[in-house]
Structure 1
Amino acid sequence: MLQWQHQGKDFQAAWHSESGAPAPRRLQVVDDSLPADTAYRLACEGTSLLWQGDFQNARHLLDALKRRLDKPVRAESAKARHQRRQAGAQADAPTFPHAFHLYRQSQAQRARVLNSLLVVVQPDYVISLRRAPDWRLAFNEAWGAAAVLKGPRVVALRELLGVVAAHEWRKKGVPMPLLGDDVRVHAHYGVFSPVRGEYLDLVAEAPLPEAGEALAFDIGVGTGVLSALLLQRGVQRVVATDLSPRAISCAKDNFRRMGLSDQVDLQTCDLFPEGKAGLIVCNPPWLPGKATTTLEQSVYDPDSRMLRGFLQGLRAHLAPQGEGWLILSDLAEHLGLRSRAQLETWIAEAGLAVAGKLDTRPHHGKVQDAHDALHSARAQEVTSLWRLVAQ
């Protein structure tokens, strides 16, 4: 519980952080009179700012904090570009994984400063500030019915904006032409949106094993897009699993929209369901590392736990003549976080062999962004579908 005083009254509220960030140690009540430079200094020093002024001014202050954080980054980039012109680009190229860890540290510091601006959300999901919008629907989608709350909660403004952005994306959906001209996949809050379509192309193109036509497992269902794609390709039934209740709810919603509910059995479990299947598909997080947000759990996998768990358990769940499809980017290799030899060793130790591999290049925006801190690695990235069979 956080406690503070304002206008001679005592207040308290529960701390809420989706990323599991610790509650603020120092809390200062602030309002519209706080200069942006002072707010930036306080946030950098570790003081959290509980906003009690006009809501729209809080958003302006958050933008001001972003601008101050970006200034040294731009200056450093200009200096780095000058050095590369003087000494040659190759001599100044980043060395991974050190450059990656520095990048993660800078991102964590940026997030800490921006998450220092806090607001109070009432039990009915109302924000009691001047000119505050009505975001109750978005909060209900992300956190559940307001009736379950025991009292107010303190939340970072940046996190609230993320909840609202997820709500808008959920309404809009992501076009999925592979599933039909008018089909959209709707990602819920905390569930990774299938915006990178290259891995879906691989699943659409890979030769479907005859053993997998009757039953397939989708490990880590997420939005359910891979299950839907397998059903479209002729698989009669899919058992889809996930540990995240949000993912299970999201996939259930998408299957209902697409009229596929009767063909998919959704199960909340870690990796594999009981039994065997002729096709088992898994798109695990691609980078070994600790996730700092709910969404990052789709990108970062501590110690490659899900990847190794899938490989180690695959053979026992494959039906005769069955295949396991591992969808994986090699970005971790270019970042120096995992080697190709290590991956191939895990495959062999699991009693598996590679029956084939399909490769494609990603085409998302960061591949073309030369200013991205990880550009040299992203420019070499290849996404692969590994067709694995039991030895």
Structure 2
Amino acid sequence: MINTKTLFSTVIVDFASKALAALLGFVLIRNLGSVQYAEYSVQIAIAIFAYQIGSFSINQILMSNLSELEDVGGAVFFISAMVAAPILLSAAIGAHFATYCFFLSLAFYDLLRLRLYLLKKYILFSVIDFGKNLTVLSSIYLLTIKTQSDAANILYLQAGCIVLLTLSIFLVYLRKSSAVKFSFRPLLILAEPHNVFMLLYLIFSGVVGQIEIFFLKTFGSSYDVAVYATALRYYVVLTTALNTMNNLYFASAVHSPSAENVLNYIKQHMRYALVACPIIIVVAALSNPLMEIVNKGKYPEAFSVFLLLVLSACISLIFSPSYAAGIKLRLQKTMLVALFLGITCDVTVNFFLTPEYRYYGAAMGLLVGSAVTNITIFLLVFYRQGNVRGLCQL
């Protein structure tokens, strides 16, 4: 178990790293034209989608079962096996070769993370991640400030930075550690019933957040994609900050052996969240002047789209503990059903609203889909625990 000091330090460094990633998005908004930024957003959506259904999902399951792993030897094979299918799928929806390179660099980086977590070097990985994001940010800033780069060049540069940094760490630091041993233990872990459902949950959750980009690419213009992608950048910054604060508070409850403690945590968290959400909405409503400065006056419609996404972030904040509680209570199958319901609502709203209302319709799709998924998981967690009456005590 991670001690509180290590957890706090790791979360703080991780938050700083995510802040650098957010700055990268703002650099691209300012320095790229709408067509270039829209194309980059589409290619990133494809890469993240492929990454989510490939190495990310497997890696998340394995990291939640670190005590049962001996080394990353077996994981290398199984993560690699999940690379081919996402590449073929992404090819069908218009990925560039640079997108493949970026996706593969993320899969390679996952192996580094798994290896360091096995060695319990949590803070070290966070520091490396900070360095990686700083390197990528600096390189892309220098590239885009001087030239009008396209999406492919930016993706190549991102992939190159990630691969070189990962190789350096493997060669300089990890070569001194114990030899890598191949085993089939990762396959046995992934084959456990609750992990199978969790793997499917992680794979299909990769659809959430990317659906809107694909609908806008199909039914809208490059400008529509750029507007929504800009609003989405601010949404990601907001949710990252909220999740970081939430993780600090949740750590003590998630390691508790008592399911009742977890349910009590959900109630307490919701009380705090219901106070915080109005404040978040007011601050977001006053953020338009700052967004105008950051965006250099581009995409003024992004502010209205962002406000819709803020509502989605608030709903996720209120009900977010239900996700971790569901994992602890082994309700992965139930969570998967809730996710399918949310995705169905998201796709339906996008299908009917995006062609006419463009980025507003896309934001409504994410809002409705997120609300349905989060609220359904919340209700099912209480129902499965026979604690429906506890809802009245919130």
TM-score, normalised to structure 2, is: 0.22
Greater RCO (Cα-Cα under 8 Å, separation 6 or more): 2
Structure with greater proportional strand content? 1
Structure with greater proportional helix content? 2
